[in-house]
């Protein structure tokens, strides 16, 4: 809006300059109006320059904006019908340098505070605590009731956690080794007597978990930091690996391992926190831990924010391969675009008749809802980003001949 107002002011100042100049030259030659006309023109030029600076600042996508724009250079994307012009999968003249991407990672708690205001969150948290106190008393809940595993069901009681958050800033853990009677066992999470999530642990093609033992661990803790005390909520994280042996001392090694998306439980603040995870990336969803390497055999089970169903996927570290991940328009596949490819990662690329773009979302395979939304949160597509691949699908390869052509053109440019 600011840009529009500035353009209007520039036009008005130019008009004043023109009128003054005309009056000076034609009608009132003895009035010496031309210095005023020059001043108005200079004012217009100054305004135009200021407008450019302001707009330049605005081009960087910020979380503060209600609807985050993709970085400058990236074409706008209409809902469901992205409009970015695909580049042919061959070296093309560079479409300008890649716009600098913001380094600031979206913080779900910060966003929650901005959206609802601290006072509202504090009121909701107080309500949660009141209900927790009543539950705790009625059911006579103690620390022993906080978390337990019963076959393929994890049960938690959030009342003791909400009642003494300081105690539960540290994790409380339960472990178990259930045997699977199915190819793809389902793990249930029940919080305060209500089913909160069902994780279907899908095997890779050709695999089966029937007769295998799942060495699992489930943790509950008060998630949050002291900067946002009102947005803190009990959080449950579950992971494990499959083994032929039920021996609790069995080691993971390279066995298939699964990490479930973390779930918030315990009332109104938990609902706000769950809502805030929509479109966020693996770190915020408790699937990856910053600064800790995730072994290659770890797979993830995500929960769709729309249909609520679970799905399995894996991640690959593309930057190690000097590539940017780009997702297909349907959000089902990912391709690595080589670093140095003209316009990457802001430009879309067409491969095998399909369009791939770094600011497309990685989507739920059941209903198509965005799961990690690089369009809403373009800052997630920063350095250190990894590619997400649905289990059973492969990374789409960037055509080798196009890659070679690109390297040849770079080498040709470097020659003296
Ligand atoms: Zn879905």
Average pLDDT across the chain, whole number = 82
Q: Which two tokens stand for residue 161?
A: 């956690």
Task: State the pLDDT at residue 53.
Answer: 47
The residue written with tokens 């209409």 in the block is 78
For residue 139, what is the enclosing H or E element? helix 118-139
Out of 35-39, 123-127, 275-279, least confident range: 35-39
Task: State the pLDDT at residue 30.
Answer: 61
pLDDT at 91 over 70: no
| Top-confidence residue, 397 or 186 | 186
Beta bridge partners of 176: 216
Task: State the pLDDT at residue 294.
Answer: 84
Name the DSSP class of 96: S
Task: State the pLDDT at residue 403.
Answer: 78
pLDDT at 373 over 80: yes
205: Cα separation from own chain's centroid: 27
Ligand 1 midpoint to CA 302 (Å): 10
Task: State the pLDDT at residue 21.
Answer: 63
Q: Locate the domains of the chain by residue range.
A: 2-59, 108-279
Task: State the pLDDT at residue 146.
Answer: 97
Out of 7-16, 170-179, 188-197, 216-225, least confident range: 7-16
Ligand 1 midpoint to CA 217 (Å): 26
pLDDT at 75 over 50: no
Q: Which two tokens stand for residue 395?
A: 């990374």
ω before 79 within 30° of 0 (cis)?
no
The residue written with tokens 């019963």 in the block is 150
Out of 182-186, 214-218, 388-392, 403-407, least confident range: 403-407
Ligand 1 midpoint to CA 318 (Å): 26
Q: What is the mean pLDDT of residues 184-198?
A: 97
pLDDT grade for 100, boundaries at 50, 70 and 90: very low
pLDDT at 341 over 70: yes
Q: What is the mean pLDDT of residues 349-371?
A: 94
Task: State the pLDDT at residue 20.
Answer: 63
Task: State the pLDDT at residue 150.
Answer: 97
Q: Which two tokens stand for residue 214?
A: 């799942």
Q: How far apart are CA 298 and CA 222, in angstroms?
A: 25
Ligand 1 midpoint to CA 351 (Å): 26
Ligand 1 midpoint to CA 140 (Å): 38
Ligand 1 midpoint to CA 255 (Å): 28
Note the pLDDT tens digit of each residue in 295-338: 889 999 999 999 999 999 999 877 666 788 999 999 999 998 88
Name the DSSP class of 124: H
Helices (H) and strands (E) in the chain, counts: 7, 21
Note the pLDDT tens digit of each residue in 111-166: 999 999 999 999 999 999 999 999 999 999 999 999 999 999 999 999 999 998 88
Ligand 1 midpoint to CA 139 (Å): 35
pLDDT at 106 over 80: yes
Task: State the pLDDT at residue 76.
Answer: 36
Ligand 1 midpoint to CA 161 (Å): 30
Give yes or no for a contact between 237 and 226, defined as CB atoms under 8 angstroms apart. Answer: no
Q: How far apart are CA 127 and CA 74, in angstroms?
A: 44
Out of 18-22, 92-96, 198-202, 317-321, least confident range: 92-96
| Residue-by-residue DSSP string for 315-345 | EE--GGGTEEEEEETTSS-EEEEETTSTTTT
Name 220's Cβ contacts closer than 8 Å, sequence gap at least 6: 146, 147, 156, 158, 161, 168, 171, 172, 234, 235, 236
Q: Of the spans 9-23, 39-53, 191-205, 280-294, which averages the highest pLDDT?
A: 191-205
The rounded radius of gyration (Å) of the Cα atoms in the chain is 28
pLDDT at 374 over 80: yes
Percent of the chain residues past pLDDT 90, beyond the cut: 52
Ligand 1 midpoint to CA 108 (Å): 21
Task: State the pLDDT at residue 271.
Answer: 97
């Amino acid at each position: 809006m600011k840009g529009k107002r500035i353009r209007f002011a520039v036009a008005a100042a130019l008009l004043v300059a023109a009128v003054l100049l005309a009056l000076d030259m034609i009608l009132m030659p003895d009035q010496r109006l031309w210095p005023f006309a020059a001043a108005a023109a200079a004012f217009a030029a100054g305004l135009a320059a200021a407008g450019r600076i302001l707009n330049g600042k605005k081009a960087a996508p910020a979380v503060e904006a209600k609807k985050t724009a993709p970085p400058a250079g990236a074409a706008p994307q209409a809902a469901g019908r992205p409009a970015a012009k695909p580049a042919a999968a061959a070296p093309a003249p560079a479409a300008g340098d890649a716009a600098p991407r913001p380094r600031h990672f979206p913080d779900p708690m910060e966003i929650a505070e901005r959206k609802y205001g601290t006072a509202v969150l504090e009121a909701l948290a107080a309500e949660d605590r009141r209900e927790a106190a009543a539950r705790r008393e009625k059911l006579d809940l103690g620390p022993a009731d906080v978390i337990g595993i019963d076959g393929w069901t994890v049960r938690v009681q959030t009342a003791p956690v909400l009642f003494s958050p300081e105690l539960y800033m540290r994790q409380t853990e339960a472990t178990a080794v259930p045997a699977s009677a199915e190819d793809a066992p389902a793990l249930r999470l029940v919080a305060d007597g209500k089913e909160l999530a069902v994780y279907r642990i899908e095997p890779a093609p050709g695999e089966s978990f029937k007769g295998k033992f799942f060495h699992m661990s489930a943790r509950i803790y008060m998630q949050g930091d002291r900067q946002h005390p009102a947005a803190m909520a009990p959080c449950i994280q579950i992971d494990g690996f499959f083994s032929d042996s039920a021996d609790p001392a069995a080691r993971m090694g390279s066995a298939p391992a699964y990490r479930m998306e973390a779930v918030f439980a315990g009332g109104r603040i938990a609902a706000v926190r769950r809502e805030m995870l929509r479109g966020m990336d693996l770190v915020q969803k408790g699937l990856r831990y910053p600064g800790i390497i995730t072994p290659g055999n770890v797979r993830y089970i995500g929960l769709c924010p729309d249909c609520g169903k679970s799905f399995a996927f894996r991640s690959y570290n593309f930057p190690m391969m000097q590539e940017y991940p780009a997702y297909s328009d349907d959000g089902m596949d990912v391709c690595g675009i080589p670093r140095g490819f003209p316009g990457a990662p802001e430009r879309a690329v067409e491969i095998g008749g399909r369009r791939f773009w770094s600011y497309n979302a990685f989507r739920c395979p059941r209903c198509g809802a965005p799961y990690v939304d690089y369009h809403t949160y373009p800052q997630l597509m920063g350095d250190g980003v990894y590619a997400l691949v649905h289990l059973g699908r492969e990374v789409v390869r960037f055509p080798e001949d196009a890659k070679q052509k690109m390297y040849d053109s770079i080498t040709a440019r470097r020659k003296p």
